[in-house]
Chain A
Amino acid sequence: EVQLVESGGGLVPPGGSLRLSCAASGFTFSTYWMHWVRQAPGKGLVWVSRIYTDGSRTNHADSVRGRFTISRDNAKNTLYLQMNSLRADDTAVYYCARGRNCSGASCIYRDAFDIWGQGTVVTVSS
């Protein structure tokens, strides 16, 4: 079964740090871009970060750039999000999602979040 399972969420004070993990199974993890998307309580979906298949390139939303770092370990089929200098407005459910499929230097056109994890809750509060 194709699956993504997040972990690592919790309650952290403002200014604190947290590392989220996303364990992938049922597909060839190393051939897919991976993403983090978050959803604040009662709000819509917001893209956070993206990482290429081999980790050579990453992108982050302006709101988290310089504070969050996306990374991956293809040997462990795991995606990470290191979150530093957390603020109250980072409070959200964080989802990992599978993105574009790439084989070597060739990627398909489609770039959709086709598999999502169940989400992990991050609460930033004193």
Chain B
Amino acid sequence: DIQMTQSPSSLSASVGDRVTITCQASQDIINSLNWYHQKPGKAPKLLIYDASNLETGVPSRFSGSGSGTDFTFTISSLQPEDIAIYYCQQYDSLPYTFGQGTKLVIK
């Protein structure tokens, strides 16, 4: 199985800050990587697909980059409604696997 390692596990930031989360795959997954966030008690929501493509309707402050084994997710200016747990997920090979999650809180 492909292991997805996210860092940090938790992150405290202020409104307006630039926030970056990294995700490392245990083997080359090209750009077969998606990013989601999950708010408390809710289902996950797709934010970024194929490493760098913004899902329709998602605010442009969210972005993704990377290829191969190293990927980055960025929020350019943190908003209060961005408080959530963020997950990366690979679909290069079965089983699909998720990172362990990054919990983002407001400082």
Q: Interface residues, chain A, CB within 8 Å of chain B?
A: 35, 37, 44-47, 50, 59, 61-62, 95, 109-114, 116-119
Q: Which of B38, B43, B91, B100 contacts A112 (CB 8 A)?
A: B91
User: A37 — which chain B residues lie within 8 A by C-beta?
Assistant: 44
User: A44 — which chain B residues lie within 8 A by C-beta?
Assistant: 87, 98-101
Interface size class for chain B?
Answer: 20 to 34
Which residues of B8-51 have CB atoms within 8 Å of chain A's CB atoms? 32, 34, 36, 38, 43-46, 49-50
User: A59 — which chain B residues lie within 8 A by C-beta?
Assistant: 94-95
Are B43 and A45 in contact (CB-based, < 8 A)?
no
**Closest B residue by C-beta to A96:** B43
Are A116 and B43 in contact (CB-based, < 8 A)?
yes
**Closest A residue by C-beta to B44:** A116
Q: Which of B43, B50, B98 contacts A110 (CB 8 A)?
A: B50
- The secondary structure that dominates the A interface is loop
Q: Interface residues, chain B, CB within 8 Å of chain A?
A: 32, 34, 36, 38, 43-46, 49-50, 53, 55, 87, 89, 91, 94-101
Are B95 and A95 in contact (CB-based, < 8 A)?
no
Are A45 and B87 in contact (CB-based, < 8 A)?
yes
User: A62 — which chain B residues lie within 8 A by C-beta?
Assistant: 95
User: B98 — which chain A residues lie within 8 A by C-beta?
Assistant: 44-47
